[in-house]
Amino acid sequence: MSREPLSVVILTLNSEKHLGEVLASAAFADEVLILDSGSTDRTLEIAQEAGCRIEHQAWLGFGRQKQRAVELATNDWIYVLDSDEVICADLREEILQTLSDPAFSAYAVPRLNYFFGKAIRHGGLYPDATVRLFDRQKARFTDNEVHEKVVTDHKIATLHHPMIHYAYDSVEEFIAKQNRYSTLGAKPDRLKALLNPLWTFWRMYVIKQGFRDGWHGYLIARLYAQYTFWKYVKELKTDEY
């Protein structure tokens, strides 16, 4: 069956941990493009062994870096895959079927997030759909340094099958990454620093039923509340503390 050719694009920076599994899951694509920003581990070796096309770009921020990868791709239909995400067999078949006769210009894809070794289905973390499959002639990434997204003037559909996202393997990894994100997205506000972390915990653990994921649900809600606090206290002036 004929279909639209597909490029899978992946940003990397010392991404060896899950990259072998990630690339194996993307091998069905007509092109797998790696845009690396200075890896010093085995990332590039793994990508070469998998037969990927490798390009290099100094870091531009998430939005601009992803858009650069999109622009470097050979094909107009793009699937943007993070270096810790895996396309499962059911999703692969759905993508191929969709590309045989695309009815929309962009498709969101659910993500099943794994936190500390467990799949999390509550707390607002599932289905966690985000636009990943799109025609680059009709959609593009925003320039946001963090929390970037795909924008389009056309309707967006959602695929049914999720990809797997190895979000965080440990609490230490979560703290390190969210500490960096809270710096990039800092919005200094003392009142929000007081109130918003409480709301974040209540929304994730109670309203979104994070308690159904047991200890993991409680821990994740507490950690996201802490991240919210960091975001609003960073860059406050000394006399505002």
In the prediction, which pLDDT does 165 show? 98
pLDDT, tens digit (0-9, with 9 covering 90-100), for 188-212: 999 999 999 999 999 999 999 999 9
Query: Using one digit for the tens of pLDDT, what is the confidence trace for 88-117?
Result: 999 999 999 999 999 999 999 999 999 999
- Choice between 187 and 24, residue whose per-residue pLDDT is larger: 24
pLDDT digits (tens, 9 = 90+) for 112-134: 999 999 999 999 999 999 999 99
Q: What is the mean predicted confidence (pLDDT) over 5-10?
A: 98
pLDDT of residue 241: 59
pLDDT exceeds cutoff 70 at 238: no
Q: Classify domain 6-168 at the CATH superfamily level.
A: Spore Coat Polysaccharide Biosynthesis Protein SpsA; Chain A (3.90.550.10)
Locate the domains of the chain by residue range: 6-168, 171-240
Query: Which token pair is 196?
Result: 């918003």
Mean pLDDT value across the chain: 95
